[in-house]
Amino acid sequence: MRFTLPFVTAATVFGLASSNPILETRQEALRFGTVDVNPTTVKLGQQFNVLYNNTQGRFVPRTLEVYINGKYPNGFVTPSIQLERTDLLEEEKYYTFNTTLPIISNDDTEGYVAEGAYTVSAFITYTTKTGAISRGGVETPINIDLSN
């Protein structure tokens, strides 16, 4: 694909080109807050902490829903398993809770695979300036250690 000088100049002036697209993506997601897990690697049955932080979020969350999600190497996407759901007060900027890795199935690894990629997702429901109810979210990776 070829771009002419006038297009490149216009793209730069009007913000169509980014010097750092990764930073723009992070800033866009930040509008929904952040989610972190500690520790970042957990074993079956181990407790871990989830922290939702909305100090830099653009919206005031009405509700918070937190899920664990997985994707297997063959492309299979696991169902989202809800870890927590709560209503938030307008002044709440942080929400934290402890949980254990949920059992997905009754096999030896409780539904997890060693090569799987897992995330913890936090979705907020919020009211827009026009009064519409909308939803958005962020996620963070979590590693699952299946060793004994």
Least Cα distance to 83 among 121, 38, 128, 26 occurs for: 121
Record the pTM.
0.77
Q: Confirm whether 128 is domain-assigned.
A: yes
Q: Name the band, by pLDDT with cuts 50, 70 and 90, for residue 28.
A: low
- Domain assignment present for 139: yes
Q: What pLDDT, in 10s, does the model give residues 64-122?
A: 999 999 999 899 998 899 999 999 988 899 999 999 988 877 676 678 888 899 999 99
Q: Is the dihedral of CA 82, 84, 88, 91 positive or negative?
A: negative
11, part of any domain: no
Q: Looking at the domain assignment, is residue 44 inside a domain? A: yes
20 inside domain: no
Specify if 78 maps to a domain: yes
User: How many angstroms separate the CA atoms of 51 and 53, rounded?
Assistant: 6
Task: Tell me, yes or no, whether 60 lies in a domain.
Answer: yes
Percent of the chain whose pLDDT exceeds 70? 78
CATH of the domain at 105: 2.60.40.1930
pLDDT value at residue 106: 65
Beta strand 117-127 with 133-145 is antiparallel
- Residue 15 within any structural domain of the chain: no
Determine the Cα angle at 42 with ends 102 and 50, to 5°. 70
Question: Is the Cβ–Cβ distance between 128 and 111 less than 8 Å?
Answer: no
